[in-house]
Amino acid sequence: MRAAILGAGAWGTALALSLGARHHIALWVWDAGQLEAMRRRRVNASFLPGFPIPERIELTGDLEAALSDAELALVVVPTSALRATFRSIAGSGRRPPVIWASKGFEAESARLPHQVAEEELPADVPRAVLSGPSFAVEVARGLPTAITLASNDHRFAVETARLLHSPRLRIYSSDDLVGAEVGGAVKNVIAIAAGVADGLGFGHNARAALITRGLAEITRLGLQLGGRMETFMGLAGAGDLILTCTGDLSRNRRVGLLLAASRPLHAILDEIGQVAEGVHTARAVRSLAHKHGIEMPITDAVCRLLFEEYSATAAVEELLSREPKAENAP
């Protein structure tokens, strides 16, 4: 199969390395300077250093050329760039199936990626999301990883998952596109809170409680938006949440750790140097929760910490001072 991977961050490059062993990959790099450096050194020093890019993986800055004979387009850009990328695909005149691996809500509209795709891609283009617990560097190393490919078109999900599946990158199919997207988006917000708790030295008990209550928030919102319970208990829900809240490679958890150390947000984002989607997603999640009358106290606390100059201690104390209730209460 010939596939175009649009986006050469850490995750896009890791997927190119993994899938490139069995498929012809054209990796589109939007930044001319990065493209030149990658062509010269055959490594993505900016986002995934230490992993040589084989010559069989084509590096290009021309999106239309990348799509010219592609049988599949895999979009791996920040959520903020999804709409423009979908629009460019539609404008190219090509009609390959489109899969995105972006996790978040569009900040301006609070839309999920599939809703943006509905507005920008031709209606007859098959589409899906690729989501689940996956650090790019581990995929690049060939370490075992299991993720979910979800589409409203069940047959497309099954066939494409089978095509991309390998012993080290195991891909499971699902027809719950909404659930997979909500799980992948909201877990980043919860991971910021987990990083704060870890940074304040609250221990493993507190982290476990936060992850569990965070999953309850994800599930409440996800069910309201049309997702299914089994998705939130699976790879794209609990699996992704656990990894992002506990793994040292998690950018969103790192944001929380640095917030707990009283670092200003702008300095944290500059230091991390890559997109931490939870920061951009938090407002959209809170807005949707308020719109639907859903209690999401962890998300509210993260938003106050990020955007209202709350201290980490004050945000945590607010959570701890909430009235006790039945565990399964909404």
Per-residue model confidence as pLDDT tens digits over 271-304: 887 777 888 899 999 999 999 999 999 999 999 9
Q: Domain boundary at 148, 175, 202, which? A: 175
**Chain segment 2-38, per-residue pLDDT in tens:** 999 999 999 999 999 999 999 999 999 999 999 999 9
Pairing of strands 43-44, 48-52: antiparallel
Pairing status of strand 145-150 against strand 127-131: antiparallel
* Residue 226 falls inside a structural domain: yes
Which pLDDT band, with edges at 50, 70 and 90, does 153 fall under?
A: very high
Query: Is residue 330 assigned to a domain?
Result: no
Sign of CA dihedral 262, 266, 270, 276: positive
Phi and psi based region of residue 262 (left: phi greater than 0; alpha: psi -120 to 50; beta: remaining): left
Q: Which structural domain range is residue 64 located in?
A: 2-175
Please tell me whether residues 228 and 266 are part of one structural domain. yes
Shared-domain flag, residues 22 and 153: yes
Domain at 128, CATH number:
3.40.50.720
- My answer on whether 218 and 71 are in the same domain is no
In the chain, how many domains are there?
A: 2
253 and 139 share one domain: no
In a domain, 328, yes or no: no
pLDDT at 330: 65
Q: What is the mean pLDDT of residues 108-120?
A: 96
- Percent pLDDT > 90 in the chain is 88
User: Does 291 participate in catalysis according to the annotation?
Assistant: no
Q: Are residues 111 and 134 in the same domain?
A: yes
What's the confidence (pLDDT) of residue 152? 97
Q: Give CA separation, 33 vs 12, 36, 38, 40, 308, in Å.
A: 17, 5, 9, 11, 37
Same domain, 169 and 189: no
If asked whether residues 34 and 170 sit together in one domain, one would say yes
Give the least confident one: 25-29, 134-138, 317-321: 317-321
- Give dist(CA 172, CA 308) in Å, integer: 40
CB 224: neighbour CB atoms within 10 A? 15
The answer to whether residue 59 sits within a structural domain is yes
Residues 166 and 250 in one domain: no
Among candidate residues 175, 198, 216, the one where a domain is terminated? 175
* Active-site annotation holder among 103, 187, 291, 325: 187
Residues 226, 146 within the same domain: no
Looking at the domain assignment, is residue 55 inside a domain? yes
Residue 91 lies in a domain: yes
**Region 247-263: what's the mean pLDDT?**
94
Model confidence, pTM: 0.95
Q: Are residues 49 and 149 in the same domain?
A: yes
Out of 175, 198, 215, a domain closes at 175
Share the mean pLDDT of the chain.
95
The residues, ordered by sequence, that sit 6+ positions from 251 with a Cβ below 8 Å of its Cβ are 272, 274, 275, 276
Q: Same structural domain for residues 158 and 200?
A: no
Distances (CA, A) of 262 to 3, 258, 306, 313: 44, 7, 11, 10
Asked whether residue 54 falls in the same domain as residue 151, the answer is yes
List, for residues 179-207, the tens digit of each pLDDT value: 999 999 999 999 999 999 999 999 999 99
| Residue 42 resides in a domain | yes
Q: Is the pLDDT of residue 329 over 80?
A: no
Residue 271 lies in a domain: yes
CATH number at residue 189: 1.10.1040.10
Confidence of residue 210 (pLDDT cuts 50, 70, 90): very high
